[in-house]
Chain A
Amino acid sequence: IAGITQAPTSQILAAGRRMTLRCTQDMRHNAMYWYRQDLGLGLRLIHYSNTAGTTGKGEVPDGYSVSRANTDDFPLTLASAVPSQTSVYFCASSDGLDHTDTQYFGPGTRLTVL
């Protein structure tokens, strides 16, 4: 079944630890995105990638890094987690080819940093 998968589903992490959130899509979409969703703030873009080999910063990139070695995978790394990074993280992708360029979202990762 085509779609986006994220792992882990949820995680509790000690502050200062390193963590990588995984995202894989099998739709051969060119563009991929990472968002965080916090109560009352809506979805905010962390990083994006328009195509394999390129990445860009979104609205809230500090404390996060990404890589795009191939079309399918777009991992998000927290080098040294802090409590303010407690959030729900959503990965999304879009094909960038049709005029709507609709983004499709993965199921999310609920991260708690203590």
Chain B
Amino acid sequence: GQNIDQPTEMTATEGAIVQINCTYQTSGFNGLFWYQQHAGEAPTFLSYNVLDGLEEKGRFSSFLSRSKGYSYLLLKELQMKDSASYLCAVRDGDYKLSFGAGTTVTVRA
């Protein structure tokens, strides 16, 4: 089976930076995704990494190290609307997505 670990909860202050770590052990690797999910809503795509390194998209960046089975999502200049659950998902050798349980980020004023 697949094993994807991420912290359950994180709290940060508006305007600050938060880093959400994700470690994985999967059968094969064909890319890592980060999704954002607000309470009661569908997951929405944030980022995709398939090669080692950092991908930057505005206030959000995602990093991947395939040799370490590790990724992080960096959220900068936090806003209240960033309060949500962040899901790490790995596409395995069969091209199926396996999801972590998600990290709930709470942004406080």
Contact = CB atoms under 8 A, between A and B. Distances in A.
Do A and B pair up? The answer is yes
Contacts of A108: 41-42
A108 B48 CA distance: 23
Interface residues of A, number: 22
Instruction: Give the dominant DSSP class at A's interface.
Output: loop
Contacts of A101: 91, 95
A45 interface: yes
B50 interface: yes
Interface of A: 33, 35, 40-45, 48, 58-59, 90, 99-108
A43 B48 contact: no
Given A90-B42, A102-B45, A43 B99 contact: yes
B96 A48 contact: yes
B93 interface: no
B31 to A, nearest CB: 7
13 contacts: A33-B97, A35-B99, A40-B101, A42-B99, A42-B102, A43-B89, A58-B96, A90-B43, A101-B91, A101-B95, A102-B45, A103-B33, A103-B45
